[in-house]
Amino acid sequence: MPELPEVETVVRGLRDVLPGRSIVSIRLGKTDFIDDPVALGESLPGRRISSVERIGKFIHLQLAPNGSSHPEAASHLMVHLGMTGRLVVRAAKEPAPPHTHVYFELDDGRELRYTDIRRFGQMLVLPDAKLVELRERLGEDALNVSPEEFRRRLAGRRARIKALLLDQGVLRGVGNIYADESLWRARLHPARLAAKLSVQEVDRLRQMVQRVLGEAIRLRGSSISDFVDSDGQPGGYQKWHRVYAREGEPCYRCKTRIRRVIVAGRSSHFCPRCQPAPRSRRAGRAESRKARSRPRQG
DNA sequence: AGCTCTTCCTGAAAGC
DNA sequence: TGCTTTCAGGAAGAGC
């Protein structure tokens, strides 16, 4: 699933080819993931793409002002890849894969194509003011958040650390894979309450989040099911996953079998030895009861 | 405030 | 073998 490193990889690829190009025309397939398909179809043809940026997990295409622009004019195209979204540039004559729902014809004979099997993605066109609103409801970028800001955002929160890592209003860019990978490296159980983490633990977590994200960007993201970059190439970071999708396999540090539990409604992978469970009465009992009733041969 | 459940969607994999 | 059920998950909304 595309998280910060995957989106960053796509953005870097698009940045090589899109700025300066104009959108000639648009063709739409299914549109239920587009907030306003009519506005998209009407406001984009003829516009020039001036820049490509990442905002959390959103891809942001800035459109150069056209002659009659007023403050309400859509000048930003936002794309969220959801679970299975792909944004790829191809020669227009090349056949498109199934589930391709948006075709942006470019002025150089190529097409920017959006393909999304499950259509959990999002596509929206926004005027300046709405872009500001979107930015405001997202937290600090996970890659750049300072130690002080990270501490401040977790301070006093009674939620589980896993839930907060996934909350885009707290920190933007982290999803399920990189949350689990960061927590394993920081040796923190996903169900720990943020308010009960020590300053050292919070700082360590921030370091590990940024280290994991940085390494994943270097390897051009993780390809678990559908992710490819803007050239259609898979990433390589899945080879370095330490817990994600490794239930029952030995921990890379201590050989204990990796476990998977649901925390914050998400499957969470962790090492029960390196990442000790919090000492809360109910959770603690439920954990040990489960462990006893599920013996595994070793 | 924060948790769980539900919804959206499809294809892979498990179950029968 | 082949059909049916289950599961995965980003994000938002409902209800507790």
Per-residue pLDDT tens digits for A188-199:
999 999 999 999
DSSP state of A106: E
Region A153-174 average pLDDT: 93
Residue with CA nearest C1' of nucleotide B10: A118
Contact A227, A188 (CB under 8 A): no
Assess whether pLDDT exceeds 80 at residue A115: yes
Q: Could you tell me the distance in Å between the CA of residue A54 and the C1' of nucleotide C8?
A: 26
Q: Could you tell me the distance in Å between the CA of residue A261 and the C1' of nucleotide C1?
A: 35
Q: Could you tell me the distance in Å between the CA of residue A89 and the C1' of nucleotide C8?
A: 28
The pLDDT tens digits of the residues spanning A37-87 come to: 999 999 999 999 999 999 999 999 999 987 665 666 789 999 999 989 999
Residue with CA nearest C1' of nucleotide B2: A159
Assess whether pLDDT exceeds 90 at residue A245: no
State residue A226's pLDDT score: 67
Assess whether pLDDT exceeds 50 at residue A166: yes
Closest nucleotide (C1' vs CA) to A169 is C11
User: How many Cβ atoms from other residues are within 10 Å of residue A28's Cβ?
Assistant: 15
State residue A62's pLDDT score: 96
Strand C: list positions under 7 Å from protein Cβ: 8-12
Assess whether pLDDT exceeds 60 at residue A283: no
Assess whether pLDDT exceeds 70 at residue A108: yes
Residue with CA nearest C1' of nucleotide C10: A82
Residue with CA nearest C1' of nucleotide B5: A265
State how far the Cα of A244 lies from the Cα of A267, in Å rounded to an integer: 9
The tokens 């929160």 sit on which residue?
A157
Closest nucleotide (C1' vs CA) to A167 is C11
* Residue predicted with more confidence, A7 or A265: A7
Q: With a 7 Å cutoff on the CB, does A57 touch strand C?
A: yes
| Residue A97 φ/ψ region, left for φ over 0, alpha for ψ in the -120 to 50 degree band, beta for the rest | beta
Catalytic residue IDs of A: 2-3, 57, 266
Report residue A182's pLDDT band, with 50, 70 and 90 as the boundaries: very high
**Contact partners, residue A74, CB within 8 Å, separation at least 6:** A39, A43, A44, A63, A125, A126, A127
State residue A65's pLDDT score: 83
